[in-house]
Amino acid sequence: MRRRGCLIGIGGVMLALVLCCVLGWFVLLPRFHDAVEREMTTVLSTEVADAIVAQVPGGASVDAGEYRISLAELERRASGGSDNLQIEGVEIRGDGNELVLGFSAGNAGAEYRFTPQAVGGRLELTDMRGDGGVVERLLAPEALGGAVENSVNAYLDANDLVLSDVYLDGDDLVLVLGEV
């Protein structure tokens, strides 16, 4: 009789562990990705807006033209994070025609690569891929790519602008803007 009770107890514990893993994978992890994307969008939106406005003389409105966003400055300013998201070991750089976002904390790290393109007047990051094992599973490339896209596209929408072209020029992300 005791063996049967022990087996039922072990089976119950195993079932509870499986249910917790399923709940974490299908419910908690997507919520975490959404939270990271929202917070990164908030941090990057401010930096993108500041970088573009700094290139407009005398506080005039942002017109169509070419605007450069320094990736080194973006990295420096994004490293502080926000009240809800502290970011450590951030690296933002260009590598040929790819935008590279890297994160490291202790011995763990991840690197994400994106190809920026102007599609339908908006920024789209294509060819998203990550390299970081467990960290990549926790912090999906789509969440980070979405944050970058959202930060630029929200600025364009707010200022009635469209993205005509985008490319990397060394340490700068170059946005060629046109009017709607």
pLDDT (average), residues 10-34 = 81
Q: Is the pLDDT of residue 106 over 80?
A: no
Domain with 114 in it:
2-179
DSSP state of 59: G
How many domains does the structure of the chain reveal?
1
**Rounded-to-integer distance, Cα 81 and Cα 179, Å:** 31
pTM to 2 decimal places: 0.76
Q: Determine the pLDDT at residue 172.
A: 92
CA distances (Å), origin 73, targets 94, 96, 122: 13, 19, 23
Dist CA 119 CA 71 (whole Å): 21
Q: pLDDT tens across 146-158, in order?
A: 888 888 899 899 8
Cβ–Cβ under 8 Å, residues 139 and 103: yes
- Whether 110 and 139 have beta carbons less than 8 Å apart is answered as yes
Q: Could you tell me the pLDDT band of residue 120, with boundaries at 50, 70 and 90?
A: very high
pLDDT in tens, 50-78: 888 888 887 678 888 899 999 888 887 77
